Structure 1
Amino acid sequence: MSQPAPGAVMRGAVDLSALRNRPPVPADGEAPAPVGTVPSLVLDVTDDTFASVLEFSRVVPVVVDLWAEWCGPCKQLSPILERVVRELDGRVILAKVDVDANPQLSQTFRAQSIPMVVALVAGQAVPLFTGAVPEQQVREVFAQLLQLAAQNGVAGRVAVSGEEAPAEDAADEEPPLPPLHAEAFAAIEEGDYARAQRAYEQALAENPRDEDARAGLGQVRLLARLQDADAAAVRAAAAEGPTDVDAQLAVADLDLAGGHIDDAFDRLLELFAALPADARGPVRDRLLELFGLVGDADPRVLSARRRLASLLF
């Protein structure tokens, strides 16, 4: 993980000039809010509205969360980022970017793997970390970010309009998680994926129809497999062994986590077709697991399922 070092000289990690020069697009025809006032501390940002976020970064650090709906680790990390940002009470803004819906921002930030978290300070990009990390680590990175921002003259606070309070009140009224789900989330925040996996497995044993537990189990398994993975070594092993099942499964995990869903599916389907029938089981099981992570309604999953069925029958 890369962290901003206090006292470091800021450098633009990516070229934001095209986005900086784009006129902000007001929502619903309204004039853009003045710098220093935001409708919420957590903003959904698009290719067209990102220019206004750059302006906010001259007042407070803006943390950019690059995510996607199909990304399990993103769904683990995003609530942590939102919680920490709200606790900082206007000293930081969180800008959420759906990489599938905003290809220009995805390309600008070179989002090869998600979740990817970058900060903007005075219009300059500072890489923070990639992947789901424990909450304590997020807090440490944010503390360093605030120090770095202050050293570069960005130490303000934004005011939040009246839209923020109802959102927080509604969140407070949400029902608590079932005990085993709560245990799994706590374990994930601590980076203890084995304990999270056991909690989800127990939840499924008690209720085989618990789809949230099933989805959570798939996400945790992916996180655990990627936790200590050396991406360069994984890809080198896959290149050297095109029919090495373990190597191809590992690189498919990397592809999926990085948003290259079609690549992951194509790789495993081609491997499945190349293997003898008695060696196909692990590949089929991994495909089904990755289908569940992306979502059965996703057109990429539907297409891959049809291809798998044609290979089976």
Structure 2
Amino acid sequence: MTDPYGIIDLAELKQPAGGSPSTSGTPSAHEVAVTEQGLEQLVADSQQIPTLLLVTSARVPEGEQFLSSLRRGVDAKNGALRLAVVDADTQQRVAGALRVQQLPTLLLLILGQVQPIVQSVLPDEEVDNLLTQVIDLATQQGLDTTAAGESEQQAPPEEPLPPLIAEAYEAIEKGDLEAAVVAYEKQLNDSPADAEAKAGLATVSLMQRTQGIDANTVREDAAQRPQDLDAQLLVADLDMLGGHVEDAFTRLLDRLRGADAETKAQLRDRLLQLFEVAGPADPRVPAARKRLANLLY
């Protein structure tokens, strides 16, 4: 396994761990649902226990089966390693910090470093072999994998999410995006500077705009009608939802040059929403913001 990702940028992640399960099914006894607030603690814990990071979504074909296989395998190892699950729909900032390009993505977090493993669903028969390799690697790097389970049991309890954020997460899991929007808007009304609520609202709005559409049809329409702004905005949404962040930004930024004032305003508003979805920790956001400012002014 190589290490092109290295250390995660945690400059924006300074709160203690917290969160609620982000996927369906029965979690492993050695599993944690990853949130922006909990990522820093997860990295710290990787100094003692190797952690498999699965970045996935309910939209991934065979994703639940892959997650179930990982859960069974991790439980069979009795705490020698941990499984951490990132819901890319509700935790796009985390997916951005991990530089995820497609779903599902499986990574290894060990000794504070993140390493890519695979960007696809693995067959059941390959999971146990993978977990054995991870434990062997952790042992070679000096981690006591036999004591990992005991260490995990002694971890402090997780801090609960704010009630309205938890309500939004629950609504998303049920597929009730309108209720999630209401919960996020209430949270922002109470706490206008809440970064997680801003990102959550932008993400749910993105999900609403792309709900039920046929991606191939949308992309064909956009290719045939390059001057149709609505078509280009929708393709940018699809790119963003699929983890192709730079493609989404570039598509909209390229259309700013020579655009009239109304078109510029629409492109600017959509880009600002997508910046919120990606989050300030994503290295592609500052560059896109700078180009946006140059093209507008």
Q: TM-score, normalised by structure 2?
A: 0.56
- Give the residue type in structure 1 aligned to 2:123: L
- Give the residue type in structure 2 aligned to 1:282: Q
Gaps of 5+ in 1: 1-18, 23-39, 44-62, 125-159
- Give the residue type in structure 2 aligned to 1:205: N
Q: Is the aligned partner of 1:85 residue 2:65?
A: no
Q: Is the aligned partner of 1:257 residue 2:247?
A: no
Q: How does 1:233-248 map to 2 (within 5 A)?
A: 233-248=217-232
Aligned position for 2:186: 202
For the structure 1 residues 196 and 65, does the alpha-carbon distance in structure 2 shift closer, same or farther, using more than 3 Å as the test?
same
Aligned position for 2:269: 285
- Give the residue type in structure 2 aligned to 1:162: A
Q: Is the aligned partner of 1:302 residue 2:286?
A: yes
Q: Is the aligned partner of 1:65 residue 2:54?
A: yes
Contact persistence 2:240–2:248 (CA under 8 A): yes
State the aligned residue count: 206
Contact persistence 2:96–2:279 (CA under 8 A): no
The CA RMSD measured in Å over matched residues stands at: 4.2
For the structure 1 residues 283 and 202, does the alpha-carbon distance in structure 2 shift closer, same or farther, using more than 3 Å as the test?
same
For the structure 1 residues 221 and 165, does the alpha-carbon distance in structure 2 shift closer, same or farther, using more than 3 Å as the test?
farther
- Give the residue type in structure 2 aligned to 1:65: L
Q: How does 1:1-313 map to 2 (within 5 A)?
A: 41=30, 65-66=54-55, 85=71, 89-90=75-76, 94=83, 112-113=102-103, 118-123=121-126, 161-167=146-152, 169-170=154-155, 173-313=157-297
Displacement, 1:169? 4.8
Contact persistence 1:203–1:213 (CA under 8 A): yes
Larger radius of gyration: 1
- Give the residue type in structure 2 aligned to 1:123: E
Contact persistence 1:200–1:217 (CA under 8 A): yes
Which whole-Å deviations, capped at 9, do the CAs of 1:142-193 have from their partners, x for residues lacking one? Answer: xxxxxxxxxxxxxxxxxx84313443553x6122111111110110111111
Displacement, 1:258? 2.4
Give the whole-Å Cα distance in 2 for the aligned partners of 1:197 and 1:168. 36
Give the whole-Å Cα distance in 2 for the aligned partners of 1:246 and 1:186. 31
Contact persistence 1:114–1:257 (CA under 8 A): no
- Give the residue type in structure 1 aligned to 2:165: H
Give the whole-Å Cα distance in 1 for the aligned partners of 2:232 and 2:272. 15
Give the whole-Å Cα distance in 1 for the aligned partners of 2:184 and 2:209. 16
For the structure 1 residues 241 and 167, does the alpha-carbon distance in structure 2 shift closer, same or farther, using more than 3 Å as the test?
farther
Query: Is the partner of 1:304 in helix, strand or coil?
Result: helix
Contact persistence 2:264–2:296 (CA under 8 A): no
For the structure 1 residues 309 and 232, does the alpha-carbon distance in structure 2 shift closer, same or farther, using more than 3 Å as the test?
same
For the structure 1 residues 191 and 165, does the alpha-carbon distance in structure 2 shift closer, same or farther, using more than 3 Å as the test?
farther
For the structure 1 residues 198 and 177, does the alpha-carbon distance in structure 2 shift closer, same or farther, using more than 3 Å as the test?
same
Displacement, 1:41? 4.9
Contact persistence 1:219–1:293 (CA under 8 A): yes
Give the whole-Å Cα distance in 2 for the aligned partners of 1:265 and 1:272. 11
